[in-house]
Amino acid sequence: MKYPILLPNIFNHPFTYESEIDLKLGEFVLVPFGKSKITGVVWDEFEKNDNKKFKIKSIQKKLDVAPLKKDTINFLNWFAEYNLIPKGMALKLVLLSSNAIKKMEKKIYEPYNNKIKKNSFKLSINQIRSLEKMSYSNQKFRVHVLQGTTGSGKTLVYFEALKSIIEKGFQSLILLPEIGLTSQFEQKFSEYFGFNPAIWHSGISKKKKEIIWSGISCGEIKVVIGARSSLFLPFKKLGIIIVDEEHDQSFKQDEGVTYNARDMAISRASFENIPVNLITAVPSIETFENIKKGKYEVSRLRERYRNAALPNYEIINLNNTKLEKQSWLSAKIIEKVNLHLKKKDQVLFFLNRRGFSPNALCNKCFSSFTCPNCTINLVYHKNKNNLICHYCGFKSQLKRNCKKGDNCEFVFSGPGVERISEEVKRKFPGKKIDIFSSDTMNKKDSKEKIRKIINNEIQILVGTQLISKGFHFPHLNCIVVVDIDLSSHGHDLRGAEKNLQLYHQLSGRAGRTGKPATVYFQTYENNSKMISEITNENPDIFLERELEIRKKNKLPPYQRFISLILTGENEKKLEKEAFNFKNFIANKINGKILGPVNAPIFRIKKKFRIRLLIRGSKSMKMQNSLAKIIPKYKFFKGIKLSVDVDPINFN
């Protein structure tokens, strides 16, 4: 008998194999492919062979793995169509290193035993109302947004919803935007439920991943807390999906297969016919518009847990004070911070720049040090004593031969967190100070560092935006935004939205246990209105105005963007090919083509980049027309096309 078998590779169709074994949709099999053996899945339709004759190979064996559900296959087919990727690459996201893992002995899953303990957590009246509104017990698809002020106890509300789902024997998935959040979140979960969830992200060992994958597939593991990739695990009986910090742009996968994990989570829930909950303090503009249209339900927690007050805001105008040479902290800020330290408050200096300095210049020949592979500056990291490219990872020693003889004499322009940390150490001697960024928190000691912060063993933190993402630090009552101007400029259509979300999340780290807290903004701008708007208790006012601007200019969420990026090593050939490609697709797609133009970062990893942007109505017409026309164009050798549906940034 013939069967369509989808393989985890770049093909957009299944291959036809034969077998005497009776196989069903979704079952995993081992098949010969070329000179190797490969795991495939019995798919829902045969390849279109245009009457070509080819030899049909035999399936070698059926694997002892729970089959993929029809709902999951439907989701993967849609996922591939929406994001303009081959179906085989969608399947690859489900498998573990292109393999399916069979069920293990029951005792191996014991660490995830799912026995819920009784706990002493009590919900407030507002939390109970939000929980009731979530209607999570109705096992049908619907999107509910739980919008709550930072520190309002949103997590407790959805933990209660999860409890009911787990008790009914369903599996649950909680998506988090950052790997760094999982350790503190895992502890919070274990305290509440009394058992360990499965943690899934790129830092988990292969052996652990095999246990979790098989445990999810056979239904032994009930709860997964994970990053984007956990969305593609082969759940046997998924009952709910929670997307925490739904507004966070880290949910966008922008390398390899590009997709937005929040949007795909909503789609998977739709195919599985289960509820999905989006959790946020400030909704993304897309979510806010869907709430307004009545497409998503919403419940709001406007008060902090146990009525803790929101922090106060104070603007320090740097035009009225003279900073010392090579200093970024005003005398007024030093004075304010000392008052907080006397009260045993923890302090955070916030600057969204990794490393020591974003620019290294020579004092003699005035050369700045750029990456040889990318058109961006190298960032100096003093802790590692080298220059690093944050795009391709290129590293270089600081020592350079100067055009004017001998070695270059370096000066550093602008601060990063390492530089601010040095100044903080000078200004506050004797205090325990630590840097909180992706350079310091992806290491094995991050759990221990978080424990020290929670226990106030670290008095002063210097951090990037990573610290704004859902951490609970009970003693943090003073936040200093070193320079708000650094993140308020640029030509990013999402710039205003990003700032609103960032500073709401950041201020939400302060004053969570009831003590008075203050966020200080250092700025050279006299635009205090902008700061008061992005820190307003009610972010909906800002979002309403942002929606009006987007509607007027026909921008997302009112229209769809699809970004096409052509890359190649030969600049002239690439430029010519971009115009040829545009002319080829121009009258054959449902949308307007903008460009081609050089991408803002014109060269990454030695490849030049040219961008086309297609805009059109919010339907699948653009994707469908592109899917038909792109395969018909033969690109010049060495030129590659990348497609990004609903791009988040335009680098």
The tally of CA atoms less than 13 A away on the side-chain side of residue 513 is 10
Q: 301 and 314: one domain?
A: no
Q: Report the Cα 588 to chain-centroid distance in Å.
A: 33
Q: What is the DSSP letter of 485?
A: G
Q: Is there a domain that residue 172 lies in?
A: yes
Q: Is there a domain that residue 375 lies in?
A: no
Judge whether residue 400 has pLDDT over 70: yes
| 27 and 5 Cβ atoms separated by less than 8 Å | no
- Give Cβ neighbours of residue 200 (< 8 Å, ≥ 6 apart): 209, 212, 224, 225, 226, 227, 229, 230, 233
The residue behind tokens 């500073």 is 503
Q: 492 and 503: one domain?
A: yes
Task: Read off the amino acid at residue 527.
Answer: N
Task: Read off the amino acid at residue 378.
Answer: L
Q: Is there a domain that residue 195 lies in?
A: yes
Q: Which residue, of 61, 94, 127, is where some domain finishes?
A: 94
Q: What is the pLDDT of residue 587?
A: 87
CATH number of the domain at 220, please.
3.40.50.300
- Give Cβ neighbours of residue 209 (< 8 Å, ≥ 6 apart): 96, 200
Distance between CA atoms of residues 268 and 266, nearest Å: 6
CA-derived radius of gyration, the chain: 26
Helix (H, G, I), strand (E, B) or coil at 348: strand
Least confident of 204-213, 399-408, 606-615: 399-408
Question: What number is the average pLDDT over the span 437-453?
Answer: 77
What are the φ/ψ torsions at residue 352 (nearest 5 degrees)? -85, 55
Model confidence pLDDT, tens digit, residues 15-70? 999 999 999 999 999 999 989 999 999 999 988 765 566 788 999 999 999 999 99
Indicate the pLDDT class of residue 628, thresholds 50, 70 and 90.
Answer: very high
Q: Which residue, of 39, 71, 94, is where some domain finishes?
A: 94
Helix (H) or strand (E) holding 268: helix 261-272
Q: What is the pLDDT of residue 366?
A: 83
Distance between CA atoms of residues 174 and 194, nearest Å: 17
- Give Cβ neighbours of residue 646 (< 8 Å, ≥ 6 apart): 260, 263, 556, 560, 561, 562
Q: 41 and 155: one domain?
A: no
Q: What is the pLDDT of residue 489?
A: 44
Q: Is the dihedral of CA 547, 551, 556, 559 positive or negative?
A: positive
Nearest CA to 351 among 477, 454, 474, 435?
A: 435
Which range of 10-19, 117-126, 356-365 scores highest in mean pLDDT? It is 10-19
Q: 476 and 603: one domain?
A: no
Helix (H) or strand (E) holding 204: none
Count of beta carbons in the 10 Å neighbourhood of residue 518: 19
Residue count of the chain, please give it. 651
Q: 282 and 198: one domain?
A: yes
Model confidence pLDDT, tens digit, residues 253-280? 988 899 999 999 999 999 999 999 999 9
Q: 56 and 184: one domain?
A: no
Q: 337 and 280: one domain?
A: no
* Higher pLDDT pick, 514 / 437: 437
Question: What number is the average pLDDT over the span 280-287?
Answer: 94
Nearest CA to 227 among 271, 267, 259, 195?
A: 259
Q: What is the pLDDT of residue 333?
A: 94
Q: What is the pLDDT of residue 97?
A: 93
In 26-112, where do the E strands start and end? Answer: 28-33, 36-42, 57-58, 61-62
Q: What is the pLDDT of residue 443?
A: 57
Task: Read off the amino acid at residue 55.
Answer: K
DSSP notation for 342-362 = HTT-EEEEE----SSBSEEEE
Residue 273 burial by CB count (10 A; 0-12/13-18/19+): exposed, middle or buried? Answer: exposed
Q: What is the pLDDT of residue 479?
A: 92
At 268, list the tokens: 């998977």
| 187 and 153 Cβ atoms separated by less than 8 Å | no
Model confidence pLDDT, tens digit, residues 153-187? 899 999 999 998 999 999 999 999 987 778 778 88
Q: What is the DSSP letter of 100?
A: -
Q: What is the pLDDT of residue 492?
A: 67
Number of domains composing the chain? 4
CATH number of the domain at 588, please.
3.30.70.600
Q: Is there a domain that residue 584 lies in?
A: yes
Judge whether residue 486 has pLDDT over 60: no
Q: 528 and 568: one domain?
A: no
Q: What is the pLDDT of residue 52?
A: 63
Task: Read off the amino acid at residue 128.
Answer: I
In the chain, what percentage of residues exceed pLDDT 70? 96
| 506 and 376 Cβ atoms separated by less than 8 Å | no
- Residues 291-307 as b/e (b if ≥16 CB within 10 A, e otherwise) read beeeebbbbbbebbbee
Distance between CA atoms of residues 229 and 236, nearest Å: 17
Q: Is there a domain that residue 203 lies in?
A: yes
Model confidence pLDDT, tens digit, residues 348-392? 999 989 999 998 888 888 888 889 999 999 999 998 888 999 999
Q: Is there a domain that residue 399 lies in?
A: no
Q: 445 and 422: one domain?
A: yes
Question: What number is the average pLDDT over the span 547-559?
Answer: 93
Which range of 122-136, 269-283, 314-328, 385-399 scores highest in mean pLDDT? It is 269-283
Which range of 341-350, 405-414, 460-469 scores highest in mean pLDDT? It is 341-350
Judge whether residue 96 has pLDDT over 60: yes
- Give Cβ neighbours of residue 206 (< 8 Å, ≥ 6 apart): 97
Distance between CA atoms of residues 548 and 535, nearest Å: 20
| 396 and 439 Cβ atoms separated by less than 8 Å | no
In the chain, what percentage of residues exceed pLDDT 90? 62
At 244, list the tokens: 């925490």
At 393, list the tokens: 């990872």
Q: What is the pLDDT of residue 448?
A: 80
The mean pLDDT value of the chain amounts to 89
Cis peptide leading into residue 415 (ω within 30°):
no
Distance between CA atoms of residues 119 and 388, nearest Å: 48
Question: What number is the average pLDDT over the span 577-595?
Answer: 93
Q: What is the DSSP letter of 230?
A: G
Helix (H, G, I), strand (E, B) or coil at 522: strand
Judge whether residue 490 has pLDDT over 50: no
Q: Is there a domain that residue 619 lies in?
A: yes
Owning domain of residue 330: 309-356+415-543
Question: What number is the average pLDDT over the span 200-226?
Answer: 94
Query: 388 forms bridges with which residues in the sheet?
Result: 379, 395
Q: 498 and 631: one domain?
A: no
Q: 57 and 169: one domain?
A: no
At 375, list the tokens: 């058109």
Q: What is the pLDDT of residue 184?
A: 79
Judge whether residue 579 has pLDDT over 90: yes
Q: What is the DSSP letter of 96?
A: B
Q: What is the pLDDT of residue 536?
A: 74
Q: Is there a domain that residue 554 lies in?
A: no
The residue behind tokens 């009930």 is 222
Distance between CA atoms of residues 490 and 496, nearest Å: 10
Q: 87 and 113: one domain?
A: no
- C-alpha dihedral, 273 to 215 to 200 to 26, nearest 10°: -50
- C-alpha dihedral, 538 to 541 to 544 to 549, nearest 10°: -130
Q: What is the DSSP letter of 8?
A: S
Question: What number is the average pLDDT over the span 463-469?
Answer: 84
Q: What is the pLDDT of residue 306?
A: 65
Judge whether residue 488 has pLDDT over 50: no
